[in-house]
Chain A
């Protein structure tokens, strides 16, 4: 069995879970200040309060599997993205503590801001990191050799803004599922606007990336790849159309899975573009992979525990299924 491939698949799966779960979670934070009143904000927060730290745990899983299975890549990427990473972590702190502090506070203004600005900034920083990752990093030996601001480019800023719109779309469609009345109606309208912005950015990235990186253009448009890969944009267009219809018809259940679909297709596109690199154009997954005794041990743990994790994650969501009310706290 090719352990490196399995490890890569696990990281890819962990990141996908993170994008979906913490995506809508952060998205609710992005939309938070724009809600009509405090009562609606209570509902928005209650819709994720029981599950938010489980959602964020997928991030830690991604980080630790990267450290365990590809230590060289972990040690190379982290210093390269030092400042946006620190901003990301601070932003996560501000939004995370707001879950506890806001409900206990008499004056909620500051914790509303902490939650909303924290979520938005965390998403933006995550997008910056993603953008800079696609660009690649200068290295010497197996260590990062660039400056403190290598990550800051128009492309990475664009990726940051795009991700804010994307997570807000996930958040809005999650809220369609979990709320009713005026708040739900507001989410329908927000989701339609956000979807257009997201499509605009998907288009922009699809043009910008191949123009800038000829090897990515060759990957997509070379023969016979274009044959296998052409379904990706076609299915994306189809999902976008279905999502638009679902939002117009005020469907409750369809918008959330469809916006997840939109995300997963973009993610797939990214994977196709970057394969087989774990640090683009510098380090392939095989060059960065930990030795077999480390990967084997890691994969035993994943095989034993990840199914369990998935089972009780599903169970937790099932326990907290249905519409949320604004009084559902324990405070």
Chain B
């Protein structure tokens, strides 16, 4: 591996910056919905506990949102700086999708976030709630467009190729391409789940220490009620997404399963060490016929193997294989936690079982780890293609000198690590301080009172 290989450097930099970025939208998409639920309950019940919870989690939201904005702006230009041939070839298709994201999502989030954070004394309750709804809607709209563009790169549709340049023949097919609905549902749910376990973990910490107990019980209860639905749903959505991938990107699935030969009654590998050069696995731990059962819903169904693609057309199998197991492992763990929580709730011991509170506390970051693993599976699993079967990653990079890219990559790693430390430090301080026990807010008798008619 040559460290001055411009293709490798461009990929490393993009992978690093986008993986870092996606952590924050994952958090804000989920937390935005959580805040919406909390504010709705506050408006309905006027219980000040909900107001305190909102103010507290809105601060965490703001920190993560700021990080998401500054790392996101980078991405919108990095496609051009590092993948200019990709831009030229696919710009007709994905360019407008990005523009729609800005128009329908970014402006909406940015416009109403100010009111959400700074507006309590300046607008009425209902208008404030409206701002929270708009911010949550904006984060969701953002996921819609960016995943439409991403999904198109996995399952291109509605296009024609004219002298090597993509042209759109049908926008509906381009946007609602075959993998899009599955990817969108899977990712939105992943984000909700990650935020849910963050809230549950932080609340568990308060319950363990006996501080901020009243509000922590509330948030713990809401989070685990959501988890009881979201965690099992993720298994279902993941299965559907997997079946869709099996249909359109069978080689990716073969890499996920570590399957070299096309096989009837393919086994499920719990563990293995895939060897790319020899096209075999070592140290396999297998469940016979289980992969066929899962992927084909038939114990003797045929699953296609990696050898169906030429070696140059295969992804780097170990990444896909291990990341997939990490994602599934965490997913199953979160389902177990959610179901145990449900059982403890109905037997009235949810806030008292210390081993359970500890488990939830330790699970705080797991949703994010699983989300990143899932992205590693789907993105490295598409390689060596950037647009599946049509455009190779190696053919899409810019002719920028390798020295420039190496410089920027090293700087990104340094700066982002400093940022991450600062973000975690300030978030930790917020969590240590906890929700304020202050008084309920005075209803705002502001000039905008007329806006809260009724």
Chain A interface residues toward B at CB < 8 A: 49-51, 53-54, 56-57, 59-61, 63-65, 67-69, 71-72, 74-79, 81-83, 85-86, 89-90, 92-93, 96-97, 99-101, 104-105, 142-145, 147-148, 290-291, 293-294, 297-298, 301-302, 305-306, 309, 312-313, 315-316, 319-320, 328-331
Contacts and interface: CB of A to CB of B under 8 A. Distances in A.
B204 interface: no
Which of A71, A72, A77, A85 counts the most chain B CB atoms within 10 A?
A71
A294 B69 contact: no
B69 A96 contact: yes
Q: 8 tightest A-B contacts by CB? A: A71-B91, A78-B80, A68-B95, A50-B114, A75-B87, A75-B84, A54-B110, A96-B70
Contacts of A59: 73
B404 A82 contact: yes
A82 B405 CA distance: 9
A64 B70 contact: no
Given A313-B111, A316-B111, 19 more contacts: A49-B118, A57-B110, A59-B73, A64-B99, A64-B101, A67-B91, A74-B80, A74-B95, A75-B80, A76-B84, A82-B408, A90-B411, A290-B91, A294-B95, A312-B111, A312-B112, A315-B111, A319-B115, A330-B62
Interface of B: 55, 58-59, 62-63, 65-67, 69-74, 76-77, 79-82, 84-88, 90-104, 106-115, 117-120, 122-123, 167-169, 171, 398-401, 403-405, 407-408, 411, 415, 419, 422-423, 426, 429-430, 448
Contacts of B99: 61, 64-65, 67-69, 298, 301-302
A86 B169 CA distance: 35
22 contacts: A50-B118, A51-B114, A53-B110, A54-B111, A56-B73, A60-B73, A61-B107, A63-B76, A64-B76, A68-B97, A68-B99, A69-B99, A74-B80, A79-B84, A83-B404, A89-B74, A143-B399, A290-B92, A293-B169, A294-B96, A309-B111, A331-B59
Contact of B107 (A89, A147, A298, A309): A309
Contacts of B72: 60
Contacts of B73: 56, 59-60, 89, 92, 96
B115 A50 contact: yes
Contacts of B80: 63, 67, 74-75, 77-79
B168 A294 contact: yes
A289 to B, nearest CB: 10
A56 to B, nearest CB: 7
B404 A319 contact: no
A57 B111 CA distance: 10
Contacts of A57: 102, 106-107, 110
B69 A53 contact: yes
Given A294-B92, A306-B103, A309-B111, A67 B79 contact: yes
Contacts of A72: 88, 91
Contacts of A65: 99
Contacts of B55: 330
Contacts of A312: 107-108, 111-112
B22 to A, nearest CB: 16
B71 to A, nearest CB: 7
Nearest to B398: A79
Contacts of B415: 90, 93
Contacts of A306: 103
Nearest to A90: B415
B70 to A, nearest CB: 4
B111 A85 contact: no
A113 to B, nearest CB: 13
A301 B102 CA distance: 10
B251 to A, nearest CB: 29
A46 B180 CA distance: 41
* Secondary structure class of chain A's binding surface, majority of residues: helix
B91 A75 contact: yes
B167 A60 contact: no
A85 B419 contact: no
A141 B299 CA distance: 54
A85 B78 CA distance: 9
A233 B411 CA distance: 43
A93 B74 contact: yes
B72 to A, nearest CB: 8
B404 A309 contact: no
A130 to B, nearest CB: 15
Contacts of A85: 77, 81
Contact of B113 (A53, A74, A148, A305): A53
Contact of B100 (A63, A293, A301, A309): A301
Contacts of B71: 93
B10 to A, nearest CB: 11
A312 B426 CA distance: 31
Nearest to B168: A293
Contacts of B101: 64
B76 A305 contact: no
A78 B95 contact: no
A154 B316 CA distance: 47
A197 B97 CA distance: 41
Contacts of A51: 114
Nearest to A48: B114
A329 B71 CA distance: 23
Contacts of B408: 82-83, 86
Contacts of B107: 54, 57, 61, 305, 309, 312-313
B94 to A, nearest CB: 8
Nearest to A306: B103
Given A90-B411, A294-B92, A96 B59 contact: no
Contact of A67 (B65, B67, B98, B426): B98
Contacts of A50: 114-115, 117-119
Contacts of A56: 69, 73, 110
B122 A97 contact: no
Contact of A330 (B67, B85, B120, B167): B120
Contact of A329 (B95, B118, B399, B400): B118
A75 B85 contact: yes
B118 A68 contact: no
Contacts of A75: 80, 84-88, 91, 398
B95 A142 contact: no
B98 A143 contact: no
Contact of B103 (A79, A81, A301): A301
A319 B117 contact: no
Contacts of B111: 54, 309, 312-313, 315-316
A71 B97 CA distance: 13
A21 B288 CA distance: 62
Contacts of B448: 319
B439 to A, nearest CB: 16
A100 B62 contact: yes
Contacts of B114: 49-51, 54, 316, 319-320
Contacts of B405: 82
